Structure 1
Amino acid sequence: MDSGIILNQVGFSVQGKVILHEISLSLTGRRIAIIGRNGSGKTTLLRLMAGLMAPTSGTVRVAGLDPAAERKAMLRGIGILFQNPDHQIIFPTVEEELAFGLRQMGMNAKEAGARVLAMLRTEGRAHWASAPVSSLSQGQRQWLCLMAVLLMEPETLLLDEPFAALDLPTQARLQRRMSQLDQRVVTISHDPATVIDCDHVVWIENGRVAAEGVPAEVLPAFKDEMDRLGLRDADTDLAG
Protein backbone atom coordinates (compact mmCIF):
# COMPACT_ATOMS: atom_id res chain seq x y z
CA MET A 1 0.00 0.00 0.00
CA ASP A 2 1.30 3.47 -0.93
CA SER A 3 2.57 5.19 2.21
CA GLY A 4 3.36 8.48 0.46
CA ILE A 5 6.59 10.44 0.67
CA ILE A 6 8.24 10.39 4.09
CA LEU A 7 11.26 12.53 4.99
CA ASN A 8 12.90 12.01 8.37
CA GLN A 9 15.44 14.59 9.57
CA VAL A 10 16.68 15.16 6.01
CA GLY A 11 19.68 17.41 5.56
CA PHE A 12 21.66 18.27 2.44
CA SER A 13 24.98 20.12 2.12
CA VAL A 14 27.31 20.96 -0.78
CA GLN A 15 30.97 21.75 -0.07
CA GLY A 16 30.17 22.67 3.50
CA LYS A 17 27.20 24.88 2.59
CA VAL A 18 23.94 23.68 4.18
CA ILE A 19 21.03 23.73 1.72
CA LEU A 20 18.45 21.82 3.78
CA HIS A 21 18.26 21.59 7.58
CA GLU A 22 16.76 18.45 9.18
CA ILE A 23 13.46 18.43 7.31
CA SER A 24 10.78 15.97 8.43
CA LEU A 25 7.58 15.65 6.36
CA SER A 26 4.84 13.10 5.78
CA LEU A 27 3.24 13.79 2.38
CA THR A 28 0.27 11.52 1.76
CA GLY A 29 -2.32 13.77 0.12
CA ARG A 30 -3.28 13.76 -3.55
CA ARG A 31 -2.30 17.37 -4.33
CA ILE A 32 0.71 18.79 -2.48
CA ALA A 33 2.51 22.11 -2.98
CA ILE A 34 5.99 23.11 -1.86
CA ILE A 35 6.38 26.88 -1.96
CA GLY A 36 9.26 29.21 -1.26
CA ARG A 37 11.47 31.92 -2.66
CA ASN A 38 14.10 31.18 -5.28
CA GLY A 39 17.08 29.66 -3.49
CA SER A 40 15.04 28.48 -0.51
CA GLY A 41 15.90 24.80 -1.12
CA LYS A 42 12.61 23.62 -2.58
CA THR A 43 14.09 22.27 -5.84
CA THR A 44 16.80 20.46 -3.88
CA LEU A 45 14.02 18.89 -1.82
CA LEU A 46 12.25 17.79 -5.01
CA ARG A 47 15.42 16.22 -6.40
CA LEU A 48 15.87 14.25 -3.16
CA MET A 49 12.30 12.97 -3.45
CA ALA A 50 12.98 11.94 -7.05
CA GLY A 51 16.14 10.06 -6.08
CA LEU A 52 18.30 12.23 -8.34
CA MET A 53 20.62 12.65 -5.37
CA ALA A 54 20.88 11.27 -1.85
CA PRO A 55 20.54 13.30 1.37
CA THR A 56 23.63 14.15 3.39
CA SER A 57 21.75 13.06 6.52
CA GLY A 58 18.38 11.57 7.35
CA THR A 59 16.19 9.39 5.14
CA VAL A 60 13.81 9.79 2.21
CA ARG A 61 11.22 7.09 1.48
CA VAL A 62 8.74 6.97 -1.38
CA ALA A 63 6.14 4.22 -0.96
CA GLY A 64 8.58 2.65 1.48
CA LEU A 65 11.56 2.70 -0.91
CA ASP A 66 14.77 4.73 -0.92
CA PRO A 67 14.49 6.58 -4.27
CA ALA A 68 18.24 7.24 -4.59
CA ALA A 69 19.21 3.61 -3.93
CA GLU A 70 16.37 1.91 -5.83
CA ARG A 71 16.27 3.91 -9.05
CA LYS A 72 14.87 1.11 -11.24
CA ALA A 73 11.92 0.54 -8.92
CA MET A 74 11.32 4.30 -8.92
CA LEU A 75 10.79 4.40 -12.70
CA ARG A 76 7.17 3.47 -12.02
CA GLY A 77 7.04 5.09 -8.57
CA ILE A 78 8.11 8.65 -9.43
CA GLY A 79 7.90 10.85 -12.52
CA ILE A 80 9.45 14.33 -12.65
CA LEU A 81 8.72 17.34 -14.85
CA PHE A 82 11.29 20.15 -14.85
CA GLN A 83 10.69 23.86 -15.45
CA ASN A 84 12.55 23.89 -18.78
CA PRO A 85 11.47 21.09 -21.14
CA ASP A 86 14.68 21.48 -23.14
CA HIS A 87 16.58 20.12 -20.12
CA GLN A 88 14.49 16.94 -20.36
CA ILE A 89 14.07 16.26 -24.09
CA ILE A 90 16.82 14.21 -25.74
CA PHE A 91 15.34 12.78 -28.98
CA PRO A 92 14.67 14.56 -32.29
CA THR A 93 11.04 13.47 -32.89
CA VAL A 94 7.92 13.33 -30.75
CA GLU A 95 7.40 9.57 -31.03
CA GLU A 96 11.04 8.81 -30.17
CA GLU A 97 10.90 11.04 -27.11
CA LEU A 98 7.66 9.50 -25.91
CA ALA A 99 8.90 5.94 -26.40
CA PHE A 100 12.17 6.39 -24.54
CA GLY A 101 10.86 5.87 -21.01
CA LEU A 102 8.87 2.81 -22.06
CA ARG A 103 11.98 1.26 -23.60
CA GLN A 104 13.87 1.97 -20.35
CA MET A 105 11.23 -0.05 -18.55
CA GLY A 106 11.90 -3.04 -20.81
CA MET A 107 9.15 -2.67 -23.39
CA ASN A 108 10.11 -3.72 -26.93
CA ALA A 109 10.11 -1.17 -29.76
CA LYS A 110 6.88 -2.40 -31.37
CA GLU A 111 4.88 -2.36 -28.14
CA ALA A 112 6.30 1.01 -27.11
CA GLY A 113 5.47 2.49 -30.52
CA ALA A 114 1.89 1.20 -30.31
CA ARG A 115 1.47 2.64 -26.81
CA VAL A 116 2.80 6.02 -27.97
CA LEU A 117 0.48 6.21 -30.98
CA ALA A 118 -2.53 5.20 -28.87
CA MET A 119 -1.75 7.98 -26.39
CA LEU A 120 -1.30 10.55 -29.14
CA ARG A 121 -4.67 9.59 -30.64
CA THR A 122 -6.34 9.86 -27.23
CA GLU A 123 -4.87 13.32 -26.77
CA GLY A 124 -5.94 14.44 -30.27
CA ARG A 125 -2.33 14.74 -31.44
CA ALA A 126 -1.79 11.71 -33.68
CA HIS A 127 -0.38 14.06 -36.34
CA TRP A 128 2.49 14.92 -33.96
CA ALA A 129 4.08 11.46 -34.10
CA SER A 130 6.84 12.11 -36.63
CA ALA A 131 7.08 15.85 -35.99
CA PRO A 132 10.52 17.24 -35.03
CA VAL A 133 10.58 18.34 -31.41
CA SER A 134 12.22 21.55 -32.62
CA SER A 135 8.95 22.46 -34.37
CA LEU A 136 7.00 22.54 -31.08
CA SER A 137 6.33 25.65 -29.04
CA GLN A 138 7.50 25.96 -25.42
CA GLY A 139 4.08 24.92 -24.16
CA GLN A 140 3.89 22.00 -26.58
CA ARG A 141 7.32 20.77 -25.47
CA GLN A 142 6.19 20.96 -21.84
CA TRP A 143 3.11 18.93 -22.77
CA LEU A 144 5.39 16.42 -24.53
CA CYS A 145 7.49 15.99 -21.38
CA LEU A 146 4.36 15.51 -19.28
CA MET A 147 3.02 12.84 -21.62
CA ALA A 148 6.40 11.06 -21.71
CA VAL A 149 6.29 10.84 -17.92
CA LEU A 150 2.64 9.75 -17.78
CA LEU A 151 3.24 6.94 -20.27
CA MET A 152 5.40 5.32 -17.59
CA GLU A 153 2.40 5.36 -15.22
CA PRO A 154 4.16 6.72 -12.11
CA GLU A 155 2.30 6.72 -8.81
CA THR A 156 3.60 10.20 -7.94
CA LEU A 157 4.37 13.12 -10.24
CA LEU A 158 6.88 15.80 -9.17
CA LEU A 159 6.56 19.17 -10.92
CA ASP A 160 9.35 21.76 -10.64
CA GLU A 161 7.88 25.21 -11.46
CA PRO A 162 6.05 23.69 -14.47
CA PHE A 163 4.29 26.91 -15.54
CA ALA A 164 7.04 29.48 -14.94
CA ALA A 165 8.04 29.97 -18.60
CA LEU A 166 4.54 29.64 -20.11
CA ASP A 167 2.01 32.29 -21.13
CA LEU A 168 -1.35 32.37 -19.35
CA PRO A 169 -3.45 30.43 -21.94
CA THR A 170 -0.83 27.66 -22.06
CA GLN A 171 -0.71 27.57 -18.26
CA ALA A 172 -4.49 27.19 -18.16
CA ARG A 173 -4.45 24.30 -20.65
CA LEU A 174 -1.71 22.42 -18.80
CA GLN A 175 -3.31 23.03 -15.40
CA ARG A 176 -6.63 21.71 -16.74
CA ARG A 177 -4.89 18.57 -18.04
CA MET A 178 -3.03 18.03 -14.78
CA SER A 179 -6.22 18.44 -12.74
CA GLN A 180 -7.52 15.27 -14.42
CA LEU A 181 -4.61 13.10 -13.26
CA ASP A 182 -5.16 10.26 -10.80
CA GLN A 183 -1.57 10.40 -9.53
CA ARG A 184 -0.34 12.16 -6.42
CA VAL A 185 1.07 15.47 -7.69
CA VAL A 186 3.73 17.44 -5.82
CA THR A 187 4.18 20.94 -7.27
CA ILE A 188 7.14 23.23 -6.55
CA SER A 189 6.26 26.90 -6.94
CA HIS A 190 7.02 30.43 -5.74
CA ASP A 191 3.58 31.64 -6.91
CA PRO A 192 0.71 31.02 -4.46
CA ALA A 193 -1.89 31.47 -7.22
CA THR A 194 -0.77 28.28 -8.99
CA VAL A 195 -1.21 26.02 -5.94
CA ILE A 196 -4.33 27.40 -4.28
CA ASP A 197 -6.29 24.21 -5.05
CA CYS A 198 -3.79 21.86 -3.38
CA ASP A 199 -4.72 19.76 -0.35
CA HIS A 200 -1.51 20.44 1.59
CA VAL A 201 1.11 23.21 1.37
CA VAL A 202 4.67 23.15 2.70
CA TRP A 203 6.51 26.49 2.94
CA ILE A 204 10.30 26.19 2.73
CA GLU A 205 12.39 29.15 3.90
CA ASN A 206 16.20 29.10 4.06
CA GLY A 207 16.25 25.31 3.88
CA ARG A 208 13.77 24.81 6.72
CA VAL A 209 10.03 24.18 6.98
CA ALA A 210 8.56 27.57 7.88
CA ALA A 211 4.97 26.29 7.92
CA GLU A 212 2.77 23.52 6.57
CA GLY A 213 -0.96 22.90 6.42
CA VAL A 214 -4.00 23.71 4.30
CA PRO A 215 -3.69 26.46 1.66
CA ALA A 216 -6.08 28.80 3.50
CA GLU A 217 -3.64 28.91 6.42
CA VAL A 218 -0.21 28.74 4.79
CA LEU A 219 -0.61 30.78 1.58
CA PRO A 220 -1.78 34.06 3.20
CA ALA A 221 1.10 33.91 5.69
CA PHE A 222 3.56 33.24 2.85
CA LYS A 223 2.18 36.11 0.77
CA ASP A 224 2.31 38.51 3.72
CA GLU A 225 5.96 37.63 4.32
CA MET A 226 6.83 38.01 0.62
CA ASP A 227 5.09 41.41 0.59
CA ARG A 228 7.05 42.43 3.70
CA LEU A 229 10.33 41.41 2.11
CA GLY A 230 9.39 43.24 -1.08
CA LEU A 231 9.20 46.50 0.83
CA ARG A 232 12.85 46.16 1.87
CA ASP A 233 15.80 47.06 -0.34
CA ALA A 234 17.11 43.55 0.37
CA ASP A 235 18.77 42.63 -2.92
CA THR A 236 21.77 44.93 -2.50
CA ASP A 237 23.80 42.35 -0.53
CA LEU A 238 26.02 39.94 -2.44
CA ALA A 239 25.53 36.23 -1.85
CA GLY A 240 28.01 34.76 0.58
Structure 2
Amino acid sequence: MRWGRPGAGAAGTAPPLPRTDVELREVTHAYGDRTVLTGVSLTLTESRIGVIGANGSGKSTFARLLNGLVVPTAGTVLVDGLDTRTQAREVRRRVGFVFQDPDAQIVHPTVAEDVAFGLTNQGVPAGEIARRVDEVLVAYGLDGHRDHPAHLLSGGQKQLLAIAGVLVMAPQRVVFDEPTTLLDLRNTRRVARVVDGLEQDVVVVTHHLELLAGFDRVLVFEDGRVAADGTPAETVPWYVARCG
Protein backbone atom coordinates (compact mmCIF):
# COMPACT_ATOMS: atom_id res chain seq x y z
CA MET A 1 0.00 0.00 0.00
CA ARG A 2 1.26 3.45 -0.87
CA TRP A 3 0.52 5.95 1.88
CA GLY A 4 0.07 9.54 0.79
CA ARG A 5 -2.37 12.21 1.86
CA PRO A 6 -4.35 11.63 5.06
CA GLY A 7 -7.82 10.47 4.14
CA ALA A 8 -6.74 9.40 0.66
CA GLY A 9 -7.78 5.81 1.25
CA ALA A 10 -6.18 2.71 -0.19
CA ALA A 11 -3.82 2.87 -3.13
CA GLY A 12 -5.66 3.01 -6.41
CA THR A 13 -8.80 4.62 -4.97
CA ALA A 14 -7.62 8.21 -4.51
CA PRO A 15 -6.71 10.69 -7.22
CA PRO A 16 -2.93 11.04 -7.61
CA LEU A 17 -1.16 13.95 -5.99
CA PRO A 18 -0.24 16.77 -8.36
CA ARG A 19 3.41 16.61 -9.40
CA THR A 20 5.88 19.19 -8.17
CA ASP A 21 8.20 21.10 -10.47
CA VAL A 22 11.34 22.38 -8.75
CA GLU A 23 13.68 24.64 -10.70
CA LEU A 24 17.10 25.94 -9.69
CA ARG A 25 18.47 28.80 -11.78
CA GLU A 26 22.21 29.50 -11.47
CA VAL A 27 22.12 28.83 -7.74
CA THR A 28 25.16 29.61 -5.63
CA HIS A 29 25.30 29.32 -1.87
CA ALA A 30 27.99 30.30 0.62
CA TYR A 31 28.32 30.13 4.40
CA GLY A 32 30.37 33.21 5.10
CA ASP A 33 33.53 32.93 3.01
CA ARG A 34 32.97 29.24 2.22
CA THR A 35 31.13 28.58 -1.05
CA VAL A 36 29.39 25.21 -1.01
CA LEU A 37 27.37 25.36 -4.25
CA THR A 38 28.26 27.13 -7.46
CA GLY A 39 26.09 27.81 -10.51
CA VAL A 40 23.64 24.93 -10.10
CA SER A 41 20.86 24.91 -12.70
CA LEU A 42 18.40 22.00 -12.65
CA THR A 43 14.74 21.20 -13.15
CA LEU A 44 13.36 18.39 -10.98
CA THR A 45 10.13 16.78 -12.15
CA GLU A 46 10.76 13.07 -11.65
CA SER A 47 9.00 11.05 -8.94
CA ARG A 48 12.14 9.46 -7.45
CA ILE A 49 15.40 11.44 -7.38
CA GLY A 50 18.54 10.39 -5.52
CA VAL A 51 21.40 12.69 -4.51
CA ILE A 52 24.85 11.29 -3.77
CA GLY A 53 28.36 12.64 -3.28
CA ALA A 54 31.22 12.80 -0.82
CA ASN A 55 30.92 14.58 2.51
CA GLY A 56 31.23 18.31 1.91
CA SER A 57 30.19 18.07 -1.75
CA GLY A 58 27.15 20.34 -1.23
CA LYS A 59 24.37 17.77 -1.36
CA SER A 60 22.81 18.57 2.03
CA THR A 61 22.77 22.29 1.27
CA PHE A 62 21.18 21.47 -2.07
CA ALA A 63 18.48 19.46 -0.26
CA ARG A 64 17.71 22.35 2.11
CA LEU A 65 17.34 24.72 -0.81
CA LEU A 66 14.43 22.70 -2.18
CA ASN A 67 11.94 23.83 0.47
CA GLY A 68 13.42 27.11 1.60
CA LEU A 69 15.23 25.94 4.73
CA VAL A 70 18.21 27.59 3.04
CA VAL A 71 17.85 30.35 0.45
CA PRO A 72 20.50 30.85 -2.22
CA THR A 73 23.18 33.48 -1.89
CA ALA A 74 22.71 34.05 -5.60
CA GLY A 75 20.28 32.66 -8.13
CA THR A 76 16.71 31.45 -7.66
CA VAL A 77 14.87 28.33 -6.50
CA LEU A 78 11.27 27.95 -7.68
CA VAL A 79 8.72 25.34 -6.58
CA ASP A 80 5.77 25.32 -8.97
CA GLY A 81 6.77 28.89 -9.79
CA LEU A 82 6.95 29.96 -6.11
CA ASP A 83 10.19 31.64 -5.06
CA THR A 84 11.65 30.04 -1.91
CA ARG A 85 13.13 33.40 -0.92
CA THR A 86 9.80 35.25 -0.77
CA GLN A 87 7.14 32.51 -0.63
CA ALA A 88 8.69 30.02 1.78
CA ARG A 89 5.50 29.30 3.72
CA GLU A 90 3.63 28.14 0.64
CA VAL A 91 6.69 26.28 -0.64
CA ARG A 92 6.88 24.27 2.61
CA ARG A 93 3.25 23.24 2.23
CA ARG A 94 4.30 21.60 -1.03
CA VAL A 95 7.74 20.27 -0.10
CA GLY A 96 8.32 18.51 3.22
CA PHE A 97 11.74 17.84 4.75
CA VAL A 98 12.96 14.91 6.86
CA PHE A 99 16.24 15.50 8.68
CA GLN A 100 19.06 13.02 9.10
CA ASP A 101 18.73 13.18 12.90
CA PRO A 102 15.09 12.83 13.95
CA ASP A 103 15.83 14.43 17.33
CA ALA A 104 16.31 17.69 15.42
CA GLN A 105 12.72 17.38 14.24
CA ILE A 106 10.92 16.10 17.34
CA VAL A 107 9.69 19.09 19.34
CA HIS A 108 6.81 17.84 21.55
CA PRO A 109 6.81 15.47 24.51
CA THR A 110 4.55 12.69 23.20
CA VAL A 111 4.28 10.96 19.86
CA ALA A 112 0.74 12.13 19.09
CA GLU A 113 1.47 15.72 20.15
CA ASP A 114 4.52 15.82 17.92
CA VAL A 115 2.64 14.59 14.87
CA ALA A 116 -0.13 17.14 15.51
CA PHE A 117 2.27 20.08 15.85
CA GLY A 118 2.33 21.25 12.23
CA LEU A 119 -1.42 20.86 11.77
CA THR A 120 -2.05 22.91 14.90
CA ASN A 121 0.20 25.68 13.56
CA GLN A 122 -1.82 25.69 10.35
CA GLY A 123 -5.07 26.16 12.28
CA VAL A 124 -6.56 22.84 11.17
CA PRO A 125 -9.77 22.08 13.16
CA ALA A 126 -9.30 19.83 16.19
CA GLY A 127 -11.46 17.01 14.82
CA GLU A 128 -9.53 16.94 11.56
CA ILE A 129 -6.22 16.97 13.45
CA ALA A 130 -7.32 13.98 15.55
CA ARG A 131 -8.40 12.02 12.48
CA ARG A 132 -5.23 12.72 10.51
CA VAL A 133 -2.95 11.99 13.46
CA ASP A 134 -4.70 8.67 14.14
CA GLU A 135 -4.42 7.73 10.47
CA VAL A 136 -0.72 8.47 10.14
CA LEU A 137 0.15 6.73 13.43
CA VAL A 138 -1.57 3.57 12.22
CA ALA A 139 0.15 3.85 8.84
CA TYR A 140 3.61 3.86 10.44
CA GLY A 141 2.98 1.40 13.24
CA LEU A 142 3.12 4.06 15.95
CA ASP A 143 -0.49 3.88 17.12
CA GLY A 144 0.51 1.82 20.16
CA HIS A 145 2.93 4.59 21.18
CA ARG A 146 0.71 7.64 20.77
CA ASP A 147 1.13 8.76 24.42
CA HIS A 148 4.72 7.51 24.71
CA PRO A 149 7.50 10.06 25.34
CA ALA A 150 8.77 10.80 21.85
CA HIS A 151 12.45 11.02 22.81
CA LEU A 152 12.34 7.56 24.42
CA LEU A 153 11.47 5.80 21.17
CA SER A 154 14.05 3.62 19.46
CA GLY A 155 16.12 5.15 16.67
CA GLY A 156 14.00 3.51 13.98
CA GLN A 157 10.76 4.60 15.64
CA LYS A 158 12.04 8.17 15.93
CA GLN A 159 12.76 8.26 12.21
CA LEU A 160 9.27 6.95 11.47
CA LEU A 161 7.86 9.62 13.79
CA ALA A 162 9.80 12.31 11.91
CA ILE A 163 8.44 10.97 8.62
CA ALA A 164 4.90 10.82 10.03
CA GLY A 165 5.15 14.43 11.20
CA VAL A 166 5.97 15.49 7.65
CA LEU A 167 3.50 13.23 5.86
CA VAL A 168 0.55 14.28 8.02
CA MET A 169 0.93 17.73 6.44
CA ALA A 170 0.22 16.21 2.99
CA PRO A 171 3.11 17.71 0.99
CA GLN A 172 3.48 16.93 -2.69
CA ARG A 173 7.22 16.19 -2.51
CA VAL A 174 9.33 15.01 0.43
CA VAL A 175 13.07 15.62 0.74
CA PHE A 176 15.00 13.12 2.88
CA ASP A 177 18.48 14.17 4.04
CA GLU A 178 20.37 10.92 4.73
CA PRO A 179 17.39 9.28 6.48
CA THR A 180 19.16 5.97 7.20
CA THR A 181 22.63 7.12 8.27
CA LEU A 182 21.95 6.67 12.01
CA LEU A 183 20.01 3.40 11.64
CA ASP A 184 20.90 -0.28 11.81
CA LEU A 185 20.29 -2.56 8.82
CA ARG A 186 16.80 -3.63 9.90
CA ASN A 187 15.56 -0.07 10.32
CA THR A 188 17.38 1.08 7.18
CA ARG A 189 15.36 -1.46 5.23
CA ARG A 190 12.19 -0.41 7.02
CA VAL A 191 12.67 3.26 6.13
CA ALA A 192 13.56 2.28 2.55
CA ARG A 193 10.24 0.43 2.26
CA VAL A 194 8.40 3.47 3.61
CA VAL A 195 10.06 5.76 1.07
CA ASP A 196 9.36 3.31 -1.74
CA GLY A 197 5.69 3.18 -0.79
CA LEU A 198 5.05 6.91 -0.71
CA GLU A 199 2.63 8.46 -3.18
CA GLN A 200 4.58 11.71 -2.94
CA ASP A 201 7.51 12.64 -5.15
CA VAL A 202 10.74 12.18 -3.20
CA VAL A 203 14.31 13.44 -3.20
CA VAL A 204 16.66 11.25 -1.15
CA VAL A 205 20.17 12.32 -0.16
CA THR A 206 22.07 9.19 0.84
CA HIS A 207 25.36 7.34 1.12
CA HIS A 208 23.48 4.02 0.91
CA LEU A 209 23.57 3.52 -2.84
CA GLU A 210 21.40 0.40 -2.77
CA LEU A 211 18.45 2.59 -1.73
CA LEU A 212 18.46 4.16 -5.17
CA ALA A 213 17.68 1.03 -7.18
CA GLY A 214 14.61 1.76 -9.26
CA PHE A 215 14.88 5.54 -8.90
CA ASP A 216 14.19 7.70 -11.96
CA ARG A 217 17.23 9.94 -11.64
CA VAL A 218 20.39 10.30 -9.55
CA LEU A 219 22.46 13.47 -9.17
CA VAL A 220 26.12 13.27 -8.16
CA PHE A 221 27.56 16.32 -6.40
CA GLU A 222 31.25 17.10 -6.38
CA ASP A 223 32.87 20.29 -5.10
CA GLY A 224 29.58 22.17 -5.07
CA ARG A 225 28.57 21.28 -8.62
CA VAL A 226 26.51 18.57 -10.31
CA ALA A 227 29.19 16.28 -11.70
CA ALA A 228 26.84 13.64 -13.11
CA ASP A 229 23.12 13.44 -13.78
CA GLY A 230 21.29 10.41 -15.13
CA THR A 231 19.69 7.09 -14.23
CA PRO A 232 21.08 5.02 -11.34
CA ALA A 233 22.61 2.64 -13.88
CA GLU A 234 24.54 5.55 -15.38
CA THR A 235 25.53 7.64 -12.38
CA VAL A 236 26.05 5.20 -9.50
CA PRO A 237 28.82 3.18 -11.23
CA TRP A 238 30.41 6.48 -12.34
CA TYR A 239 30.43 7.68 -8.74
CA VAL A 240 31.75 4.39 -7.34
CA ALA A 241 34.59 4.41 -9.89
CA ARG A 242 35.32 8.02 -9.00
CA CYS A 243 35.56 7.17 -5.32
CA GLY A 244 37.95 4.33 -6.04
TM-score (norm 2): 0.88
Pairwise CA distance, 1:76: 2.0
For residue 132 of structure 1, the aligned residue among 110, 132, 149 is 149
SS in 1 for 2:179: coil
Matched, 1:89 2:106: yes
Counterpart code for 2:115: L
Structure 1 residue 70 and structure 2 residue 70: aligned?
Answer: no
Given the alignment, which residue of 200, 217, 234 partners 1:217? 234
Alignment CA distance shift 1:70-1:224 (3 Å): same
Check conservation: 1:5, 1:62, Cα contact below 8 A.
yes
Correspondence list, 1:50-61, <5 A: 50-61=67-78
Question: Does structure 1 residue 198 correspond to structure 2 residue 197?
Answer: no
Counterpart position of 2:118? 101
Structure 2: distance between partners of 1:145 and 1:190: 20
Amino acid across the alignment from 1:202: L
User: Per-residue displacement from partner, 1:123-181 (whole Å, max 9, x unpaired)?
Assistant: 44322111111221011000000011000000010000000110111111111121111
Structure of higher CA gyration radius: 1
Task: State the alpha-carbon separation in 1 of the partners of residues 130 and 20 from structure 2.
Answer: 33
> 4+ residue stretches of structure 1 with deviation over 3 A?
121-125
| CA shift for structure 1 position 193 | 2.0
AA aligned to 2:35 is V
Q: Are residues 1:167 and 2:194 paired? A: no
> Alpha-carbon deviations, 1:41-71, whole Å to 9, x = none?
0001111112012111111111111123212
List per-residue Cα deviations over 1:11-33 (Å, max 9, x = no partner).
01122221111001111100001
| Residues 74/13 of structure 1: CA separation in 2 closer, same or farther (3 Å cut) | same
Counterpart Cα distance in 2 of 1:37 and 1:196 = 19
**Residue 141 of structure 1, aligned match among 158, 164, 186:** 158
- The partner residue of 1:16 within 33, 43, 60 is 33
CA distance in 2: counterparts of 1:22 and 1:122, whole angstroms: 40
Name the residue aligned to 2:96.
79
CA RMSD of aligned residues (A): 1.4
Aligned to 1:217, the other structure's residue is in SS state helix
State how far apart, in whole Å, the 1-side matches of 2:79 and 2:231 are. Answer: 22
2:83 match: secondary structure = coil
Unaligned residue ranges in structure 2 (runs of 5+): 1-17
Q: Secondary structure at the match of 1:193?
A: helix
Q: Is residue 40–residue 207 contact of structure 1 (8 Å, CA) maintained in 2?
A: yes
In the other structure, the counterpart of 1:116 is: 133
Amino acid corresponding to residue 242 of structure 2 in structure 1? E
Contact preservation (8 Å) 1:2, 1:63? no
Q: Secondary structure at the match of 2:210?
A: helix
Q: Does the CA-based 8 Å contact 1:50-1:68 persist in structure 2?
A: no
Q: 1:21 to 1:90 in 2, by over 3 A?
A: same
- Alignment partner, residue 6 of structure 1: 23
Aligned length: 227
- Letter of the 1:19 counterpart: V
Mapped partners of 2:37, 2:204: distance in 1: 18
